[in-house]
Amino acid sequence: MTIAQETRYYSPEEYLELEVNSDIRHEYIDGVIIPMTGGTPNHNQIAGNFYAVLNFALKRQPYQVFVTDQRLWIPNKRIHTYPDIMVIQNPLVYEEGRKDTLTNPIMIAEVLSKSTSSNDRDQKFAAYRTISTLQEYILIDQYTMHVEQYWKTDNNKWIFSEFTDENTSLNLASVPCQILLADIYDKVDFHAEV
């Protein structure tokens, strides 16, 4: 006989208090706290490459680029999460009463893993689309050279493009930046994580 474990639900305030004092990161999804898994070397290399190109391309412009550890609050879905890369147009808008949680990204990029790919494409993208400032969503595969780009038009439609050639440039729609796929995947070893 198995006994079902009762799920404990937390308020956003309880989550934030626990999260600030935790050694590991957790996502908060409408009352449920979920530990985040660590990344692979390829995941970290891709996120680092993408961040470095963006940060350099946007220097002295009214944008800030954040990588991995910056918390995002999605109030319409009651979600606290940590996107792999976020770009925010100044000024930064914080969650009410906080100075460590942002709410106004214009671009989010996620590096896909086997355990997060489905969620990043479906539930997470649906949640991100409720952010009024969001204009672009990028999904980067870490197992093969494949990048998906979604960008929002003026009439709230999302346009999809995909890229697989290392000599192709990803032209971002939300910020003035082009990134060669070869630069996104620089030093990534696809054979290491099969």
Query: In a structure prediction context, what are the per-residue pLDDT tens digits for the chain, which is 194 residues long?
Result: 555 567 889 999 999 999 999 988 999 999 999 988 778 999 999 999 999 999 999 999 999 999 989 999 999 999 999 999 999 999 999 999 999 999 999 999 999 988 888 888 999 999 999 999 999 999 999 999 999 999 999 888 999 999 999 999 999 999 999 999 999 999 999 987 65
Q: How much is the pTM?
A: 0.93
Do 159 and 150 contact (CB within 8 A), yes or no? Answer: yes
Query: What are the φ and ψ backbone dihedral angles of 54, each rounded to 5 degrees?
Result: -60, -50
| Chain-centre distance for alpha carbon 109 | 4
In the block, residue with structure tokens 């106004």: 104
